[in-house]
Amino acid sequence: MKLYLDFEPCQECNTMMKQLSSPEMLLADETTRSNESAKFLRHLTYNHNEVVQAVMEDLPKQKKDQEFDFFK
């Protein structure tokens, strides 16, 4: 799934994006790439509320599970 976001990256974002797209990272093992990606996503989640709001608006809403009759 690809998600395109329109936001102003901070200096830390720019640094992380450069590291993630560097040739060394592209050739790194999967665990290293996964850890660095997770680090970037945590940064976005905790430091850029506009990104979280945009993701929430784009993702389909989950339907509530059907309740059984005995819960009503």
Number of domains in the chain: 1
User: pTM of the full predicted structure?
Assistant: 0.67
The answer to whether residue 69 scores a pLDDT higher than 90 is: no
Arithmetic mean of pLDDT over the chain: 82
pLDDT at residue number 7: 81
The answer to whether residue 61 scores a pLDDT higher than 70 is: no
**Domain annotation covers residue 21:** yes
Task: State mean pLDDT over 35-43.
Answer: 93
Structural domain range at position 52: 11-57
**Domain annotation covers residue 40:** yes
- Contact (CB, 8 A) for 45 and 52: yes
What is the distance, to the nearest Å, from the Cα of residue 3 to the centroid of all Cα atoms in its chain?
9
Confidence of residue 19 (pLDDT cuts 50, 70, 90): very high
